[in-house]
C-alpha cells in the first residue's frame, strides 16, 4: 500500500516509514524539513512541502496517489506552545484543515493522526482510559484536542475514517541505531539525561521532587518508538479493512518515575547523571499512565520493546553515534 507520511522526516514518522517498508508498503514522506531531517528519509521518496500550503499537498497527492495518510507534522514542545500559540494553532490545526481538504479532493479517505495523552490534562483517575474527560492544560494539548474534534466533525459528514492515537511518552530509538530522537532544542527527559551522562551541555535540570508520588518525582508511561510504530501499522490496517473511526491510547500501562529513569541511565551508561533539582515545570501532571484495554482489543497491541532498560539502551546506542562517542571510545 502507498501511504503519505506527513512529517515522515521526524522522530516517530521516520520509524513508521521504516516499519512500513519492512513489510512491503510504500511510504511517501511529505515534510518541510523545518524540524525533520533529510537523513531520516530512507525508505521512500521525499516530497518537500508544507501542510499549510494546499498547492504542495495537491501536487503530492497527484504525483503519488496514496491510499492513506499518516499525519505526524506538528509543533510538539509544550513550552514553545505557551510562548507561540498562534504558530501552534496554525501548524497543528489549520494545517490539518488544509490536509483534509486535499485528501477529499484526491479521494483519499483514511487518516492515522498523532494525538497525545496531553489532551487529557491532569487525570482524575488512573490508569487513563479513553473515556477520561479531555481537559488539556496547555496549548499543545488544546491544539491536538481541537484536531480530534475537527476529525469527528468531518468524519460524521464526509467519507473520512480516522484513528486518533493518543501517545504517552515516545522514547527509545531503532535498535540498529540508524534513526532516533533528534529534537533541537531537546526538552525530553531521556535524551537530556543521556546528554548529561555523556558530559555534554552541563547538568540536567530535574523538574520537581515534591510531587505526591512514591519518590517525589513525576511518573510517566514510556513507550518505545518501535512499539509506537507497530501501533500505527495496526491502526492503518484496521482502517483500510473498513473499520469505523476510533480513538485509542498507545502506552504500556506502567509508569516509571523521573528518578527511576535517571537510575536506569546510570546503569546503562555506566556514568553518573549530573543534575540540578529545580522547581516544578508548569503543566506537568504528577502521574500519567495508560489504560491499555482498548489498544489490546482494537489493535492487538502488545509492546515488545517498551521495558525501561531496552528503551534507554536503544536511545543510548543511537545518541552515542550521533554525539561521536563511539569513535571517541574506539580511539
Residue 169 touching ligand UDP (CB under 6 A)? yes
Coil, strand, or helix at residue 94? helix
Q: How far is the CB of 254 from ligand UDP (least distance, A)?
A: 14
**From 140, 167, 211, 289, the catalytic residue:** 140
Least distance (Å) from ligand UDP to the CB of residue 74?
13
Smallest distance, ligand UDP to C-beta of residue 259, A? 10
Least distance in angstroms from the C-beta of 140 to ligand UDP: 9
CA distance 198 to 273: 8
CB 223 within 8 A of CB 171: yes
List the beta strands (DSSP E) in the chain: 2-6, 26-31, 46-48, 68-71, 110-116, 161-167, 169-171, 204-207, 219-220, 222-224, 246-250, 256-257, 275-278
Cβ 79 vs Cβ 138: under 8 Å: no
| Residue number, 162 or 168, with CB nearest to ligand UDP | 168
Residues 225-264 that bind ligand UDP (CB under 6 A): 258
Note if the bond before 185 is cis, omega within 30 degrees.
yes
Q: How far apart are the first and last CA of the chain?
A: 45
* From 66-74, 102-110, 120-128, 200-208, span contacting ligand UDP (CB under 6 A): 200-208
Query: Which of 205, 215, 304, 324 is the binder for ligand UDP (CB under 6 A)?
Result: 205
Q: How far apart are CA 40 and CA 20, in angstroms?
A: 14
Minimum gap (Å) between residue 73 Cβ and ligand UDP? 18
Shortest CB 106 distance to ligand UDP, Å = 33
Indicate the residue among 245 and 249 with the shorter CB distance to ligand UDP.
249
Q: Which is nearer to ligand UDP, 59 or 137 (CB)?
A: 137
Residues 270 to 299 in contact with ligand UDP, rule: CB under 6 A: 281, 284
Our answer to whether residue 140 is catalytic in this structure is yes
Which residues share a beta bridge with 308?
none
Phi, psi of 239 (to 5 degrees): -65, -45
Among 42, 48, 104, 188, binds ligand UDP (CB under 6 A): 188
21 CB-contact burial (10 Å; exposed 0-12 / middle 13-18 / buried 19+): middle
Under rule CB under 6 A, residue 77 binds ligand UDP: no
Binding mask 108-147 for ligand UDP (x = CB under 6 A): ----------------------------------------
Stretch that binds ligand UDP, among 22-30, 65-73, 184-192, 224-232 (CB under 6 A): 184-192
- Size of interface with ligand UDP, in residues (CB under 6 A): 14
Q: Does 220 bind ligand UDP (CB under 6 A)?
A: yes
| Cα 142 from Cα 64, distance rounded (Å) | 32
Stretch that binds ligand UDP, among 43-51, 55-63, 151-159, 201-209 (CB under 6 A): 201-209
DSSP secondary structure letters along 163-231: EEEEE-EEE---TTSSS----SS---HHHHHHHHHTT-SSPEEEE-S-SSSSSSS-EE-EEEHHHHHHH
State the residue number with the nearest CB to ligand UDP: 218
Cell triple for 22: 519492512
**Which spans of this chain sit near ligand UDP (rule: CB under 6 A)?**
169, 187-189, 192, 204-207, 218, 220, 258, 281, 284
Give the residue numbers annotated as catalytic, written as ranges.
Answer: 140
Amino acid at each position: 500500500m502507498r501511504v503519505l507520511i506527513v512529517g515522515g522526516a521526524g522522530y516517530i514518522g521516520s520509524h513508521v516509514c521504516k516499519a512500513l517498508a519492512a513489510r512491503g508498503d510504500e511510504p511517501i514522506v511529505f515534510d518541510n524539513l523545518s524540524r525533520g531531517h533529510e537523513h531520516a528519509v530512507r525508505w521512500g521518496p521525499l516530497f518537500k512541502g508544507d501542510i499549510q500550503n494546499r498547492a504542495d499537498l495537491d501536487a503530492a497527492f497527484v504525483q503519488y496517489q496514496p491510499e492513506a495518510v499518516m499525519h505526524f507534522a506538528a509543533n510538539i514542545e509544550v513550552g514553545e506552545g505557551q510562548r507561540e500559540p498562534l504558530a501552534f494553532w496554525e501548524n497543528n490545526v489549520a494545517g490539518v484543515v488544509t490536509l483534509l481538504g486535499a485528501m477529499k479532493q484526491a479521494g483519499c479517505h483514511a487518516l492515522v493522526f498523532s494525538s497525545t495523552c496531553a489532551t487529557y490534562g491532569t487525570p482524575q483517575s488512573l490508569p487513563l482510559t479513553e473515556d477520561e474527560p479531555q481537559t488539556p492544560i496547555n496549548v499543545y494539548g488544546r491544539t491536538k484536542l481541537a484536531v480530534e474534534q475537527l476529525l469527528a466533525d468531518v468524519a460524521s459528514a464526509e467519507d473520512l475514517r480516522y484513528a486518533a492515537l493518543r501517545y504517552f511518552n515516545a522514547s527509545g530509538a531503532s535498535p540498529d541505531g540508524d534513526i532516533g530522537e533528534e529534537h533541537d532544542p531537546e526538552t525530553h527527559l531521556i535524551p537530556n539525561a543521556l546528554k548529561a551522562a555523556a558530559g555534554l551541555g552541563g547538568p540536567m535540570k530535574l523538574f520537581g521532587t515534591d510531587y505526591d508520588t512514591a519518590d517525589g518525582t513525576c511518573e510517566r508511561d514510556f513507550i518505545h518508538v518501535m512499539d509506537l510504530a507497530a501501533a500505527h501499522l495496526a491502526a492503518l490496517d484496521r482502517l483500510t479493512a473498513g473499520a469505523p473511526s476510533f480513538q485509542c491510547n498507545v502506552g504500556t500501562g506502567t509508569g516509571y518515575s523521573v528518578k527511576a529513569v535517571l537510575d536506569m541511565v546510570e546503569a546503562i551508561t555506566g556514568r553518573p547523571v549530573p543534575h540540578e533539582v529545580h522547581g516544578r515545570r508548569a503543566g506537568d501532571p504528577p502521574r500519567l499512565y495508560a489504560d491499555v484495554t482498548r489498544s489490546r482489543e482494537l489493535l492487538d497491541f502488545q509492546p515488545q520493546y517498551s521495558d525501561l532498560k531496552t528503551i534507554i539502551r536503544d536511545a543510548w546506542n543511537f545518541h552515542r553515534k550521533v554525539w561521536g562517542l563511539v569513535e571517541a571510545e574506539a580511539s
